[in-house]
Structure 1
Amino acid sequence: MHIGDVEVVKVVEWQGEIAPARTIVPSPAALWRDNAGWLAPDHWNAETDNYRGAVQTWVLRSEGRVILVDTGVGNDRDRPQIPLFDHLTTPFLDRLAEAGVRPEDVDVVVNTHIHYDHVGWNTLRRNGDWVPTFPNATYVIPRADQVYFDPRNAHRRPAPRTEHEQLRREGSLLVYADSVAPVLGKAVLWEGNHRIDRNLTLEPAPGHTPGSSVLRLVSGNHKAVFVGDLLHSPVQILEPQHSSCFCEDPEQAATTRRGVLERAADNGELVVPAHFAGSGAVEVRRAGSRFAADPVESL
């Protein structure tokens, strides 16, 4: 589809059930049951009570350049923190080619934040080394996340409270080593706001990670906001106080989420989360003191 003068194409790396719904987004069971007509089948399997999601990249063509928003899990990665994606192998680059994009065509890679499922295809393995997948691209990475996840700064992070948190901590070291460190020579580490072109601007949206960001698209009267992991499920539109289990600071993430949803509802911004299956995007509106949303079927 086109949003103003910007072409938007979704390229899916993986889609399916990931884990019990309320493991991913801790929240009341009734919230899922009462909204089953919307959540099932794309976002929730009512029979298994599992969360369904997608790992995908958004390809934007803006002002003559090709911009990728998030790069998924990647192939052949050690990911002990999430066995479902450990040594995942998919034909992602073939799917990207079907969208008319070769690796050398990419001008900008945006990582909305540094988590394993947003930076994986930053690199690929060649002759035993991890090298940039997109040789001509500038990688745009939030400085706050680069600092936070840099292994040299591990002592600044809160001590893991559980075995699961320890596994995530160890996993993040692998992610940094194979998907972030190899592209830093081609990276812009931004803070404050960062303008990509006349249509596209990155803004901080902290909470999920310290450097979590949103990408705003404004072209003429058309607007969209790519919100990364501020939203994992539509239940977080209905009740924004529920953060995902992956959020580094759940309270801050909830505050940020509500603010982004308020702006989207008031300004008519199409909301494009990283992991919504189905059409992948929603139109958000106010419903009294709460929010409601409608899927956009054309994506």
Structure 2
Amino acid sequence: MIQPASRAQISIGATTVTYLPDGHGWINPAVFFPASVPDGWARHAEYLDERGWFPVSVGAFLIRTAGRSLLVDLGLGEVDYVLEGAAEFRGGALPASLAVEGLSSADVDTVVFTHLHHDHVGWTSDVAPAPAFPDGRRVSGLTFGSARHLVSEPEWRYWTGEPGFPGPDPVAVLEPLAGRVEFAEDRQEIAPGVRVLATSGHTPGHLSLLVTDPEDDRRLIILGDVMHSQVQVAESHWTCRFDVDPDHGLATRERLLKELETPGTILAGGHFAGQVFGEVRQRAWKARDRG
């Protein structure tokens, strides 16, 4: 049975991209991927535990390039909770994962949110945004207080008007970011060789990231939640219950899958179990060796 992913790193020229685990989840596919049941998982049984649930990795991607340190997404935060009959989540390892790389929160100069769902914003502040936000707790500030915080404008506008799970908690996430958040646009270069890509559908302002380096003819695409599991490479029609626009999300996934089949293109799936880095070949997922 495949388990949530551990730390992994890949280099694109002089640029390194490192997956930093924060935690993991186990999800009931009948709730999350309704189109996958009753028999869709027969082709992917190695992903299921004894309950028939599948694992998801949850963490962040650290991009180090030209003296810069960027974090893509901020995991779950220090949480441990169950959504009865649907999912269970545990997080809290991101600071330790960052320390393994020789970095502290003060060393991160940029945070990029692919989108603002709860499992991508967990370390925004010093209070973890679990579904049941504890009464009486106060936020003292941003975890990465020296960093720029980037998100797309449609994403920010949507969630500031539609608060609630699975979106960002108003107290733990939206209030600390207000006045500090900056808007990133499609194809904008936010660091040398790092560009944002508009990949809406899962959420209205969802972003992916493209990483290139002049010393390397390969490229890497950090998906965000365009796909939640590598089984969606083969089962691209499996839309997620939490897709704001499932049809548009499917069209985005199909478009990106065509790009991912281009030779020299590496995929980074932050929720992928086992190994987050891999390639797409003839609509099949091929994990890269750990390193």
Segments of 4+ moved more than 6 angstroms = 77-83
Counterpart of 2:154 (choices 129, 144, 148) is: 144
Relative to structure 2, which stretch is displaced further, 141-150 or 263-272? 263-272
Name the structure 1 match of 2:5. none
Structure 1 residue 223, shift from structure 2 partner: 0.6
Structure 1 residue 28, shift from structure 2 partner: 4.2
Q: Which has the higher helix share?
A: 1
1:15 lines up with 2:24 in the alignment: yes
Counterpart of 1:203 (choices 193, 197, 200) is: 197
Structure 1 residue 84, shift from structure 2 partner: 3.3
Structure 1 residue 261, shift from structure 2 partner: 0.8
1:3-152 correspondence runs (5 A)? 3-16=12-25, 18-26=26-34, 27-36=36-45, 40=46, 43-45=47-49, 47-75=50-78, 84-85=88-89, 90-125=92-127, 128-150=138-160
Q: Which residue identity does 1:75 align to in structure 2?
A: E
Distance 1:128 1:175 in 2: 13
1:252-271 correspondence runs (5 A)? 252-271=248-267
Distance 1:271 1:29 in 2: 29
Structure 1 residue 29, shift from structure 2 partner: 4.1
Helix, strand or coil for the counterpart of 1:179? Answer: helix
TM-score in terms of structure 1 length? 0.82
Q: Which residue identity does 1:70 align to in structure 2?
A: D
Q: Deviations for 1:34-78, whole angstroms, at most 9, x for unmatched residues?
A: 233xxx2xx432x32101111111111011110101101113699
Helix, strand or coil for the counterpart of 2:158? Answer: helix
Unpaired segments ≥5 residues, structure 1: 155-168
Contact 1:13 1:55 in 2 (8 A): yes
Relative to structure 2, which stretch is displaced further, 124-133 or 189-198? 124-133
| Structure 2 CA distance for partners of 1:227 and 1:173, relative to 1, 3 Å | closer
Q: Which residue identity does 2:287 align to in structure 1?
A: P
Q: Which residue identity does 2:108 align to in structure 1?
A: V
Contact 1:279 1:295 in 2 (8 A): yes
Counterpart of 1:292 (choices 268, 284, 291) is: 284
Name the structure 1 match of 2:173. 179
| Structure 2 CA distance for partners of 1:79 and 1:278, relative to 1, 3 Å | closer
Q: Deviations for 1:261-290, whole angstroms, at most 9, x for unmatched residues?
A: 10110243111112112121220022xxxx
Contact 2:112 2:150 in 1 (8 A): yes
Q: Deviations for 1:77-99, whole angstroms, at most 9, x for unmatched residues?
A: 999898834xx662431222112
| Structure 2 CA distance for partners of 1:207 and 1:174, relative to 1, 3 Å | closer
Distance 2:192 2:257 in 1: 23
Unpaired segments ≥5 residues, structure 2: 1-9, 129-136
TM-score in terms of structure 2 length? 0.84
Helix, strand or coil for the counterpart of 2:191? Answer: coil
Count of residue pairs brought into register by the alignment = 270
Structure 1 residue 140, shift from structure 2 partner: 0.8
What value does the CA root-mean-square deviation take over the aligned residues?
Answer: 2.5
Helix, strand or coil for the counterpart of 2:150? Answer: strand
